[in-house]
Amino acid sequence: MIRVLANDGIAPNGKKALEDAGYEVVTTHIPQDELMTKLNDFDVIIVRSATKVRKELIDASPNLRVICRGGVGIDNIDHEYAKSKGIPTYNTPAASSASVAELVFAHFFSLSRDVQRSNFELRQPDGDFKSLKKAYAKGQQLRGRTLGILGFGRIGIEAARMGLGLGMTILPVDPHKESEDVVLDLMGQKVTVNVPVVTMEKMLAEADYITIHVPGGNLIGADELAKMKDGVVLANTSRGGVINEDALLAALQSGKVRGAALDVFVGEPSPRRELLENPKISVTPHIGAATGEAQYNIGTELAEKIIGHFG
């Protein structure tokens, strides 16, 4: 019997599908430091972002045959080394795209209308309704604005779809594409919009909002921030460190950046206090894919890939 360790969990539908196919699925979490001696009891490990599958763990688990990542990024897995040992890595790039893109726009709306600040301040005992109404009377609409998208894969395309629905101009950046057909479903009618990819320079100079969907890297630093429009709003739901945190804090302080949305951080699970306490930053604890719909899709996709591998 194939034994599967879902160390960071799996949705009930995915677990059931595997068990119906004759697999044993263990969902009891094994701490990282115990995996070196316990992972070898399993044929498959399923992880999210918490569990790391590095070279040393792979070497200590000769019975391991498949590594699965419930999500998009696989930077917590030494997947090239695993491949060299004949162990494939499967992820679920399509399952959570809409959920991540919706979180981006939740942050964008909040920052554009100062929802995250006024919601907190109005609840305080000394929260004065009239003064807060005046303080937060300079909101802005997303309609008619320009959305820059860094990384035009599945999540970036979902962000473009939502932006087009809001009446935004879309400026995606992706070194591997020239354009992308984005399909809108308008009351049951399918409308296809071809969105051309632009240069990084053009996107930085013209975007009012920028959302980042790349697997990693240090892409936005002081130089890139300086090229952006004054009052730009940024969102990072990809990987911590894609936006240099020191440069971001400086740009928020100067007013160059109106607001920033961070779902990911360099120091996870202990982000810098300067980020968490900055009133111009809207924060969430890495919950881009944390919807029931996304988890269901991830469970389905994981089960399909594991069953497809073993039969």
Would you say the C-alpha torsion 50, 76, 82, 154 has a positive or negative sign?
A: positive
In contact, 39 and 47? CB cutoff 8 Å: no
Catalytic residues: 239, 268, 286
Q: Looking at the structure, tell me whether residues 75 and 126 fall in a common domain.
A: no
pLDDT of residue 215: 87
pTM: 0.89
190-199, pLDDT tens digit by residue?
999 999 999 9
Question: At 219, which CATH number?
Answer: 3.40.50.720
Q: What is the DSSP secondary-structure string of 65-117?
A: -EEEESSS--TTB-HHHHHHTT--EEE-TTTSHHHHHHHHHHHHHHHHTTHHH
Greatest CA separation for the chain: 67
182 pLDDT exceeds 90?
A: yes
130-139, pLDDT tens digit by residue?
999 999 999 9
Q: Looking at the structure, tell me whether residues 302 and 176 fall in a common domain.
A: no
Q: Looking at the structure, tell me whether residues 262 and 146 fall in a common domain.
A: yes
272 pLDDT exceeds 90?
A: yes
* Proportion of the chain above pLDDT 90, given as a percent: 93
Q: Looking at the structure, tell me whether residues 222 and 296 fall in a common domain.
A: no
Quick check: helix, strand or coil at residue 289? coil
**38: containing domain:** 3-95+292-310
Across the chain, mean pLDDT equals 96
Q: Looking at the structure, tell me whether residues 168 and 278 fall in a common domain.
A: yes
Average pLDDT over residues 302-306: 96
pLDDT of residue 51: 96
301 pLDDT exceeds 90?
A: yes
pLDDT of residue 227: 98
Number of domains in the chain: 2
93-107, pLDDT tens digit by residue?
889 999 999 999 999
